[in-house]
Amino acid sequence: MGCNLRIVSRLALNPIRPANAYKLGLSYSRQPGRRYASVSSAIAETPPSAPVLDPHQPHASPVSPPNSHPLIIKASVLVSRPPLLLRDLTPFERAYFLYQRRLNERLALPFTRYFYYQRGTPGDIEWKRKIKERRTPARDIGKYTGYGEEAWNDELILGERASEPEAQLQSLLSDAEDKHVSSAVGRGDQREISAEKPLSRTTEADANQDLESLNRSLTRTLYLVVSQKAKVDSAKQWIFPTCELDDNESLHMAAERIIVQAAGTNMHTWVVGNMPIGHQVHHVAGPPSEPSLTPSKNTEKVFYMKAHIMAGQANLKENRLGLQEFRWLTKQELQTTLSPQDFSAVKKVLADR
């Protein structure tokens, strides 16, 4: 016994090398950042054993952390309608694209008219008349000549609207709706040629400010918000469709359920992914005895899920969440509709256009 104590005391003072540890029958394991192992360090790193509580003793009781109140977990769905049209061009972009088209007229080969139109045909006669008016094969860049002494003069005069989309559209329509058509024998026949006009970028819902229509703000992303029934002497509160999670329910399953319970079954939607795109915590003041920063029974944690609408429309007639109205709003409209706390939680995940 005394010999073993002397060996242990010597080992505690002198580090054990791997070879010596093997000779002495001690276990040695190399760890990153450590070159040697010693009995003293092994003894120091041994975690203390936790006290064992006897459940049959009267003083034994389960240990629980202080203020361990359950949170209320909720899922909120951001149902969005993506843009249906490209955004409007800026003045710089309009001027740049017109410059590129006029530059292409200078760099491209001359239009070989007789390759496409036979001499003396109605198409040849009509081409000669139109090219005399606009002086270029392109129909939407204004009066410009790509060849000749004035080919360099491709800048717009102050007040000219050749770069405006409305002016270009009118130029294309007037060229297609030309009423004068010449025949092959040289007789002037009059007949009307109609062209189908494209739909306007602003719809009737935009003119009437119908916030429940999906046919508004076609160049922007719209989000579905709903209003709960207002309490007595309280303002109407607009929120995203939100509900608590059921037992053993994931956020993805809850999002699909909330869409059906809130907006009905007439919407064809797609919940994007299983992970939330944001969250926020509502701290509700508890009893005066409890600190305000600790979780209480009224603390809510809301997770936001992303979804898209493919077809259909919301219908709150048979909703189960006590909702009253719904609207499809842009990000800028949400800023003035939602509460500052709710908008601050989602403003970074909302599309700017």
Which residues make Cβ contacts (< 8 Å) with residue 207, sequence separation at least 6?
A: none
**Of the residues 161, 190, 219, which one is the last residue of a structural domain?**
190
In a domain, 200, yes or no: no
Read off the pLDDT of residues 116-149 as tens digits, 9 standing for 90 and up.
888 888 888 888 888 887 888 888 888 888 787 7
CB-side exposure of 289: number of CA atoms within 13 Å? 1
In a domain, 127, yes or no: yes
Read off the pLDDT of residues 225-269 as tens digits, 9 standing for 90 and up.
999 876 655 678 899 999 999 888 999 999 999 999 999 999 999
pTM of the model: 0.68
In a domain, 172, yes or no: yes
Instruction: Kindly compute the dihedral angle of the four CA atoms of residues 343, 344, 350, 353, in this order, to the nearest 10 degrees.
Output: 80
Q: Does 299 lie in the same domain as 223? A: yes
- Find the domain containing 273 and state its range: 72-85+210-346
E strand or H helix at 180: strand 180-182
pLDDT for residue 54 is more than 80 = no
Q: Does 229 lie in the same domain as 325? A: yes
In a domain, 331, yes or no: yes
Q: Does 119 lie in the same domain as 100? A: yes
Q: Does 304 lie in the same domain as 156? A: no
Q: Does 318 lie in the same domain as 302? A: yes
In a domain, 272, yes or no: yes
pLDDT for residue 295 is more than 80 = no
Number of domains in the chain: 3
Which residues make Cβ contacts (< 8 Å) with residue 328, sequence separation at least 6?
A: 81, 211, 212, 213, 214, 216, 222, 223, 224
Report the pLDDT value the prediction gives residue 320, as an integer from 0 to 100: 85
In a domain, 286, yes or no: yes
In a domain, 55, yes or no: no
Task: Decide which of 241 and 19 is more confident.
Answer: 241
**Of the residues 162, 190, 218, which one is the last residue of a structural domain?**
190
Q: Does 291 lie in the same domain as 221? A: yes
Q: Does 335 lie in the same domain as 242? A: yes
Read off the pLDDT of residues 300-335 as tens digits, 9 standing for 90 and up.
899 999 999 999 999 998 888 889 899 999 999 999
Task: Decide which of 184 and 103 is more confident.
Answer: 103
- With cut-offs at 50, 70 and 90, classify the pLDDT of residue 192: low
Report the pLDDT value the prediction gives residue 334, as an integer from 0 to 100: 95
Q: Does 217 lie in the same domain as 172? A: no
Could you tell me the CATH number of the domain that includes residue 328?
3.90.79.10
Q: Does 173 lie in the same domain as 321? A: no
Distance CA 215, CA 223 (A): 13
Q: Does 158 lie in the same domain as 129? A: yes
Token digits of residue 259: 């869409």
Q: Does 138 lie in the same domain as 98? A: yes
In a domain, 289, yes or no: yes
Q: Does 262 lie in the same domain as 126? A: no
